[in-house]
């Protein structure tokens, strides 16, 4: 263990930040650890926010972040409701919004992302979804009202909310500018087509190849009038803007750190000069793929946080995970291991897309690089094992 390390500051008290603390505890780190988090809530997990919390199946306590419990024996100092405002890399110091500053031997940037917004009027009925507060506010608008919901953006978040909102009785329309079945670039055409059909079966109207040209609403509330890129109009009681996100790096301006779609890190997740990054905000060089990645996946936040903790204390192991994400919509669970990128072939290896369950592999030049399971959790462990083996040490 690097013996000169006495004080570690982790900025961002989400999944990645707590995973760093958990990793430091597992490695037997005995120095001082401080977590700085802008949110005031008890630490919680985000995936349930578009699913179980939004539907009402779980209360906020049930969505508690398990990593916070695992990190507890380390006894980190946790500053909640406090924003880091700047980083002095040379001076090894983080400035905080409450006027305090924290000196460190190593600092981890784990500040996540913020939802991208459109040019949109100020209205309580036009929402984004990232935080517990966002989820509970959106739920309050959807529950018991049978509202008309317009979801702008047919990505994972938009489609998960569409599915949950149907369960709450909303009438749901989704618009997505990219033509073709939504998510095809992320899950392949077969699964995307089947998913689009599942939404149609549940009464969700999905319009692809159409963006939103303008939104009109009043600050006091009331219906939102959307004009789409083809000139048609949609009136909605609630609008969810789900058009991607922006890494939270504004506070690093002037620090001298390289920021380009996230904090630019090497293969060890180091941004240089005792600065590290983990989770949604980190753009690191994946040595196994020889490509820079920034992943907004829950499992990555955990794995990268643990890897950063090990590397801070001296392991020097490149972070080369087989990426993994899942999405749950209605009674469908889609899981993807690896990356569906630059694919030149694919094969259904179990079941069939016309059936309730199937497994598909994707390959580049004859090498399988990803596997997708549609309600096939039991079969995916073996697929993952093979992908890890193919990645090599």
Ligand X SMILES: Cc1cc2nc3c(=O)[nH]c(=O)nc-3n(C[C@H](O)[C@H](O)[C@H](O)COP(=O)(O)OP(=O)(O)OC[C@H]3O[C@@H](n4cnc5c(N)ncnc54)[C@H](O)[C@@H]3O)c2cc1C
Burial class (CB in 10 A: 0-12, 13-18, 19+), 178: middle
Residue 210 or 294 with smaller CB distance to ligand X: 294
**Residue 258: CB minimum distance to ligand X, A:** 18
CB 313 within 8 A of CB 146: no
**Residue 192: CB minimum distance to ligand X, A:** 16
Name the DSSP class of 72: G
Residue 42 or 355 with smaller CB distance to ligand X: 42
Strand order in the sheet with 282-286: 263-265, 282-286, 291-293
Residue 210 or 376 with smaller CB distance to ligand X: 376
Residue 173 or 327 with smaller CB distance to ligand X: 327
Measured from the Cβ of residue 83, the count of other Cβ atoms closer than 10 Å reads: 17
**Residue 198: CB minimum distance to ligand X, A:** 16
Chain residues in the site for ligand X (CB under 6 A):
11-17, 36-39, 46-47, 49-50, 83-84, 110-112, 129-130, 157, 248, 251, 279-280, 296-299, 301, 325-327
- Spatial distance between the Cα atoms of 36 and 45, rounded to a whole number of angstroms: 17
**Residue 354: CB minimum distance to ligand X, A:** 25
Residue 8 or 129 with smaller CB distance to ligand X: 129
Measured from the Cβ of residue 299, the count of other Cβ atoms closer than 10 Å reads: 17
Residue 175 or 281 with smaller CB distance to ligand X: 281
**Residue 82: CB minimum distance to ligand X, A:** 7
**Residue 285: CB minimum distance to ligand X, A:** 18
Residue 129 or 141 with smaller CB distance to ligand X: 129
Q: Compute CA 6 distance to the chain's CA centroid, rounded to the nearest angstrom.
A: 31
Long-range contacts of 351-356 (CB under 8 A, 24+ apart): 351/376, 353/190, 353/191, 353/193, 353/194
**Residue 388: CB minimum distance to ligand X, A:** 18
Residue 20 or 210 with smaller CB distance to ligand X: 20
**Residue 129: CB minimum distance to ligand X, A:** 5
Residue 210 or 295 with smaller CB distance to ligand X: 295
3-state secondary structure of 34: strand
| Helix (H) / strand (E) containing 37 | strand 32-37
- Spatial distance between the Cα atoms of 9 and 7, rounded to a whole number of angstroms: 7
Residue 210 or 255 with smaller CB distance to ligand X: 255
**Residue 324: CB minimum distance to ligand X, A:** 7
CB 157 within 8 A of CB 245: no
Burial class (CB in 10 A: 0-12, 13-18, 19+), 391: middle
CB 196 within 8 A of CB 353: no
3-state secondary structure of 84: strand
**Residue 219: CB minimum distance to ligand X, A:** 25
CB 252 within 8 A of CB 262: no
Two tokens at 21? 């603390």
Residue 157 or 224 with smaller CB distance to ligand X: 157
Long-range contacts of 368-372 (CB under 8 A, 24+ apart): 368/338, 369/338, 369/339, 369/340, 369/341, 369/343, 370/336, 370/337, 370/338, 370/339, 370/340, 370/341, 370/343, 371/336, 371/337, 371/338, 372/187, 372/188, 372/191, 372/334, 372/335, 372/336, 372/340
**Residue 233: CB minimum distance to ligand X, A:** 28
Residues 6 or more apart in contact with residue 55 via CB below 8 angstroms: 164, 167, 168
């Amino acid at each position: 263990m690097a013996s000169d390390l006495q004080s570690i500051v982790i900025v961002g008290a989400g999944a990645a930040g707590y995973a760093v603390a958990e990793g430091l505890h597992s490695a037997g780190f005995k120095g001082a650890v401080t977590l700085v988090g802008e949110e005031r809530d008890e630490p919680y997990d985000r995936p349930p926010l578009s699913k179980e919390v939004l539907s009402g199946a779980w209360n906020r306590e049930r969505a508690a972040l398990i990593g916070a419990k695992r990190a507890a024996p380390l006894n980190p100092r946790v500053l909640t409701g406090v924003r880091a405002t700047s980083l002095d890399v040379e001076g090894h110091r983080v400035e905080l919004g409450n006027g305090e500053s924290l000196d460190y031997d190593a600092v981890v940037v784990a500040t996540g992302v913020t939802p991208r917004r459109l040019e949109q009027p100020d209205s309580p009925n036009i929402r984004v979804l990232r935080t517990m507060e966002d989820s509970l506010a959106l739920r309050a608008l959807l529950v018991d009202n049978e509202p008309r919901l317009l979801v702008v953006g047919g990505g994972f978040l938009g489609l998960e909310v569409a599915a949950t909102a149907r369960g709450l009785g909303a009438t749901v329309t989704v618009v997505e500018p990219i033509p073709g079945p939504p998510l095809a670039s992320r899950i392949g055409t077969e699964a995307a087509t089947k998913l689009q059909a599942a939404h149609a079966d549940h009464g969700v109207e999905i319009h692809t190849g159409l963006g939103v040209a303008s939104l009109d609403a009043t600050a006091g509330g009331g219906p939102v009038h959307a004009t789409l890129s083809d000139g048609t109009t949609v009136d909605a009681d609630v609008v969810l803007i789900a058009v991607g996100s922006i890494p939270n790096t504004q506070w690093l301006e002037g620090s001298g750190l390289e920021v380009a779609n996230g904090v630019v890190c090497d293969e060890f997740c180091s941004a240089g000069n005792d600065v590290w990054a983990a989770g949604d905000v980190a753009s690191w060089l994946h040595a196994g793929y020889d490509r820079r990645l920034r992943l907004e996946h829950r499992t990555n936040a955990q794995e990268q946080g643990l890897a950063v903790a090990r590397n801070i204390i001296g392991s020097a192991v490149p972070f080369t995970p087989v990426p993994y994400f899942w999405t749950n919509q209605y009674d469908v669970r889609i899981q993807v291991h690896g990356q569906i990128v630059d694919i030149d072939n694919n094969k259904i290896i179990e079941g069939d897309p016309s059936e309730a369950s199937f497994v598909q592999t994707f390959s580049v030049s004859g090498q399988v690089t990803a596997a997708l399971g549609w309600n096939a959790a039991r079969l995916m462990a073996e697929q993952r094992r093979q992908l890890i083996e193919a990645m090599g040490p």
